[in-house]
Structure 1
């Protein structure tokens, strides 16, 4: 793989604009090469080059007198006194009140084509100064974060001492003050007692600084004599007094805690319980893992950019047959980008601290947490995806053959089957289609470098598109096999005695699906299943949980599964209220069912409405209020359309058409302008947006048209196009529901693309981890 592609693949997506623009510099080098190929170097210029070189060099030397506002540091980087081969002069310029930057002076501008090389070095300096400024800023941020984590660790260690070893202060004082100890006890006799106490109370806790490496260097070199007599244990516990100025915030957000915070806004005080300590350790360990990841990416940023400058300068030397790379790369190596080791030192300290304080000194275990390995793609996943996909196609063909062979489309029981059995199996079709769309989303997000794991907060072990396809194809095989067996049992007179068992097949399949979803065993991607369950619970309990992107993103998905939710309602109707043994039910005619038919459909939209209200009050963002109004208008339109479907009449048709028209306009505008960030008239890409990840602009225009068309499918209800001659009413409703799922799949890609670009614009590449301890600055002063 060429370096340019490897360089792009290794970038932090959100920092892409901060990296050296390797491709732009390559294009400038190509201009130089094209000029040299078209124009042979002039012999006259070559003859006068050596005579004027020394003069030009002296003209560009820095002036250091008269209290100059500019101070130049360094020169070309060549250590010899022979300047005959010197091509460039690299200076570090420090300006008062601003950060230093680098300036490169090309000393052969009088040559033919020299203006191309001057432009190249100007752009090269711009890129280097951009990279250097960004790196300095990020290093400053991680240093400030390191100080914050250090204060958190001080509080954690003090809390550990307070919770796990309440007698350490008394024993420590006894050891530190010889006057308080019995004269018959020598330091050697005191140590075993103290060690025994430590083992019994603390066991694996490493916060007490033991002899083997935790005597501070300043104490060992400060001139104190025989410190072992003063401190025979060789440790110094963290001062527990800092807990006097600390409050704790470790309670996970629950509906109860949310209500409590509404009533009582004060921060919780320390109770010195073991549960409190455990939760604080969990939070700080997560903060360390995320901080370590940030340091590693920052280190990789420095390495990649230094390597990129090396590559581009070697290309320059090769094209121009000059020797300028050494001078420039020497300056790069001497700069903060190439010479600073602050990030490396922080990495080493984080590793040592995490291994010692959180995994009991087990380095292998600690590094497993700090550097989690991404899931390796397994060939068996691909094999089973192909196997299940092939089986699904074969089962679809078998069902089509069975329908044709039995002439079921004209069978007298066709209407009864479509009214009672088809809705039961259509549920699985909606789920499988949505999973297929999500697998396609994951594939294209990965292909176009949308950082979806960071946006959703996924772990490195999150499902890839192959795993999602495996689950979708596996579920499709189960559902299609059940549907085919159901048809065969209906057609075979010998199976009539199994009528009850036949009708229970869909219910058994739903029960199997629910058991797999909620299975506590570590099988079938447990972490991903539990992540989905947790987000779904947050949606159901809105607004009692803080709204995060995964929560409202999942709620948006459910708004496209209204028909699936109504299918679940029909399961209750068919197996509880109806007579499934005779394949009949009258519950759909009851007023209770019709009311619930509306209620269950508006639940997802109501959840999003409540989420928008919470974000409005928390973030004070008026756009969330408008978004809430959009979802409320959707609820009104959905209710009107359902009432028209149930009652008919001109009044309900007008109400359904008007409310649906209003909400369609609002939803379409929000999709295209707010969620996708498109239709920007003055953008670089007219009617799109300034930055696009998909190289073909036509894709965006096609998506816009499809979104508008698919938003108008509700019109089939108002126009009374609810059944075609060759398609039953239930099947037509299923097709319309599938179109909405397809629209949602398209919406997903561009919604997350826009979210990714917003993060890129703010260089936001890391999630913030809440810290457990809050310092009272007033008391600690």
Structure 2
């Protein structure tokens, strides 16, 4: 792999704008190369092969440059190596700056090209100008991030002081110091900044003691981990006084442990950032020397090595101290366990996963062909039982079809997120190394499709076989058996079939059910949005409960479900639940963060609820008035939702953008894709018109088949929405250089409360 591609693949996606623009500098070098090739082919160069400049002129110019900048270089120092002046190509200077845009007090570097009198030197001057801009950008970003992590380290030190003091108070309140017989006022502490005992002053005690007085100046930050604690937090402050119990100690330790893990990850990102950029500058200068046959890389790389980027060792030392503190305080001195937690192994691609995906996909195709052949050979589409089959069995199996289609769309999203470096793992908050790639998602979806198609074919064959035709109960129990297997796999506690992801999904589902009682995170409302596009799946689950709960499956009829008024009411409620969850989530975010846009978002979902209820009632009862109401409410909801999708969720339709009517920054290479996606979003949202226009059944499709097709179109629309929604979220993280999760710390100091 070429260095340029390797360089991009190793970048932290959210910091990509802060890295050296290697590809752009390569284009500048290509311009230099093209000019030199044109010069070598020109008639002048063949007739008069003399150098473009005389030695005297070159020396005279270099001498004038040294005189012009003698004061500057003597003051700040020239970082280029000492060599014969005739061989010098560039002069690199470091200047002090206090410009806030440059990152505060520091240095900016400037390269002066000493061969500017030569023909074509303007290309090389442009190259070094842009090279300096890139280097100063990298150095300033690195310096700012180092200052940021140093401040964060001080904050974690204060948190560790409080944690150790709380541990003493809870576990051993009567401990006596070795220095006196009084009750403990201190305890051995090794925090981040005090690991190297040998470097301390002799006047300081060898073992620093953590004073318990710190407990008098802190409060513990309570969290809404359960609905009950959320209700208590409504009436109480989010910060409470310490009760000095083991539950508080355990809770604070877990929070601080996670904070250390995230902090260590940020330090590793920063260390890798410095290394990659130094390597990039080395490679680009070597390419310059190769193209121009000069020797400028030595002087420039010496400057890079002597700069803050090359000389700063704060990050490396801080990594060592964080690892030492983490192993001691959170892993009981077990370094192997601690390093495995801080540096999880990278996820390896397994070829057997790809193999099974191919097998399941092939089996699915074979089963589809088998079902088509069975239906066609027996002319089942024209048989008297066609309508009864579509009313009962088809809804039972179409549920799995909706699920498989949604998983396939998610796999496609993961593929393109990975291809265009959208950090979906960080955005969703997956534990490092547990996120599913598109191959794993396809494995699950193809495996489920095989089970569904095999069950459908077996159900069809049992119904057609004279031997098993009389066993109605056995025939009808196949779908509920398949659903039971899927649910058991979802809640299986054993470490099989991606347990971490299954539990992550279940936790998010529980947060959606208890929407107003939990702080809303992106995975929670993202999952709730998926359910708004799976209304028909939820209605099919309702049909499962009715069909098997009331015993209709024994006679294969849905009389109880079709004739029950209660079923019709629940049919409406089931469709409203996903949108109502989103309303509660938006109101929770509005009340928690005072974001007015969340109130509008809640109003958007409420308008959708009104439209869904109106359409469902109109479908059940008919009537011109209900049809007008359903059409008008659906039209308003469609306009509201479409605007929100495109403008708020996707961040598009920006009038003054660099890309007309899109965003300033785009991930996809072609702008036409965004316009196509916007048009498709509008078209697919108009699928509700089939309800208002009473297009329920066609000569070649049953009513339930039409409903299934419309549901599939909505799932496809949601898949498109998912990609652009996460793309917008990723670009927001890139704009803020946010590459690590912000973990709430367990303790707050009283002086912080006063300042806030």
> In the alignment, which residue of structure 2 is the partner of 1:513?
486
> In the alignment, which residue of structure 1 is the partner of 2:19?
19
Shift of 1:678: 2.0
Q: 1:549 to 1:251 in 2, by over 3 A?
A: closer
How far apart, CA to CA, are the structure 2 residues paired with 1:344 and 1:678? Answer: 41
> In the alignment, which residue of structure 1 is the partner of 2:705?
731
What is the correspondence of 1:119-518 to structure 2 with a 5 Å cutoff?
Answer: 119-168=126-175, 171-172=176-177, 175-177=178-180, 216-217=197-198, 221-222=202-203, 236-265=208-237, 267-460=239-432, 461-518=434-491
Given the alignment, which residue of 625, 633, 640 partners 2:607? Answer: 633
Q: 1:703 to 1:271 in 2, by over 3 A?
A: same
**CA RMSD in angstroms, aligned pairs only:** 2.3
> In the alignment, which residue of structure 2 is the partner of 1:114?
121
Tell me which stretches of 4 or more aligned residues in structure 1 moved more than 6 Å.
206-210, 778-781
> In the alignment, which residue of structure 2 is the partner of 1:92?
94
How far apart, CA to CA, are the structure 1 residues paired with 2:57 and 2:689? Answer: 79
Given the alignment, which residue of 528, 537, 542 partners 2:510? Answer: 537
What is the correspondence of 1:60-79 to structure 2 with a 5 Å cutoff?
Answer: 60-63=68-71, 72-79=75-82
Shift of 1:166: 2.2
Shift of 1:462: 1.5
- The SS at the match of 2:86 is coil
How far apart, CA to CA, are the structure 1 residues paired with 2:238 and 2:136? Answer: 46
Q: 1:54 to 1:571 in 2, by over 3 A?
A: closer
Q: 1:207 to 1:510 in 2, by over 3 A?
A: farther
> In the alignment, which residue of structure 1 is the partner of 2:60?
52
Q: 1:639 to 1:207 in 2, by over 3 A?
A: farther
> In the alignment, which residue of structure 2 is the partner of 1:29?
29
How far apart, CA to CA, are the structure 2 residues paired with 1:369 and 1:383? Answer: 31
How far apart, CA to CA, are the structure 1 residues paired with 2:596 and 2:424? Answer: 26
How far apart, CA to CA, are the structure 2 residues paired with 1:51 and 1:355? Answer: 61
Given the alignment, which residue of 701, 704, 708 partners 2:682? Answer: 708
Shift of 1:50: 3.9
> In the alignment, which residue of structure 1 is the partner of 2:8?
8
Given the alignment, which residue of 577, 594, 607 partners 2:568? Answer: 594
> In the alignment, which residue of structure 2 is the partner of 1:748?
722
- The SS at the match of 1:270 is coil
Give the unaligned 5+ runs of structure 2: 40-44
Please tell me whether the aligned partners of residues 224 and 233 of structure 2 are also in contact (alpha carbons under 8 angstroms). no
Q: 1:427 to 1:72 in 2, by over 3 A?
A: farther
Shift of 1:57: 3.2
Please tell me whether the aligned partners of residues 224 and 517 of structure 2 are also in contact (alpha carbons under 8 angstroms). no
Given the alignment, which residue of 516, 526, 529 partners 1:553? Answer: 526
Shift of 1:744: 0.6
How far apart, CA to CA, are the structure 2 residues paired with 1:18 and 1:58? Answer: 33
- Which stretch shifts more, 515-524 or 734-743? 515-524
Shift of 1:208: 6.3
How far apart, CA to CA, are the structure 2 residues paired with 1:563 and 1:778? Answer: 50
Shift of 1:621: 1.8
How far apart, CA to CA, are the structure 2 residues paired with 1:72 and 1:483? Answer: 84
Kindly indicate whether residue 10 of structure 2 is the aligned counterpart of residue 38 of structure 1. Answer: no
Shift of 1:779: 10
- The SS at the match of 2:239 is coil
> In the alignment, which residue of structure 1 is the partner of 2:547?
574
Q: Deviations over 1:723-757 (max 9, x none)?
A: 11111101110111011001111111111111111
Shift of 1:72: 4.5
Please tell me whether the aligned partners of residues 92 and 102 of structure 1 are also in contact (alpha carbons under 8 angstroms). yes
Shift of 1:698: 2.7
Given the alignment, which residue of 671, 674, 697 partners 2:671? Answer: 697
How far apart, CA to CA, are the structure 2 residues paired with 1:635 and 1:124? Answer: 56
How far apart, CA to CA, are the structure 1 residues paired with 2:552 and 2:411? Answer: 38
Shift of 1:670: 1.4
TM-score (ref. length: structure 1): 0.91
How far apart, CA to CA, are the structure 1 residues paired with 2:438 and 2:55? Answer: 64
Shift of 1:71: 9.0
- The SS at the match of 1:505 is helix
- The SS at the match of 2:660 is coil
- The SS at the match of 1:392 is helix
How far apart, CA to CA, are the structure 1 residues paired with 2:694 and 2:564? Answer: 23
Give the unaligned 5+ runs of structure 1: 65-69, 182-193, 195-205, 228-233
- The SS at the match of 2:94 is strand
Please tell me whether the aligned partners of residues 578 and 584 of structure 1 are also in contact (alpha carbons under 8 angstroms). no
How far apart, CA to CA, are the structure 1 residues paired with 2:521 and 2:283? Answer: 42
Shift of 1:126: 0.7
Q: Deviations over 1:425-459 (max 9, x none)?
A: 11111111101111111111001100000110011
Please tell me whether the aligned partners of residues 245 and 780 of structure 1 are also in contact (alpha carbons under 8 angstroms). no
TM-score (ref. length: structure 2): 0.94
Q: Deviations over 1:514-554 (max 9, x none)?
A: 11111122221111111111111111111111111101110
Please tell me whether the aligned partners of residues 250 and 276 of structure 1 are also in contact (alpha carbons under 8 angstroms). no
> In the alignment, which residue of structure 1 is the partner of 2:42?
none
Q: 1:277 to 1:76 in 2, by over 3 A?
A: closer
- The SS at the match of 2:471 is helix
Shift of 1:667: 1.2
How far apart, CA to CA, are the structure 1 residues paired with 2:638 and 2:246? Answer: 54
Q: 1:44 to 1:115 in 2, by over 3 A?
A: closer
Q: 1:214 to 1:310 in 2, by over 3 A?
A: closer
Please tell me whether the aligned partners of residues 759 and 765 of structure 1 are also in contact (alpha carbons under 8 angstroms). yes
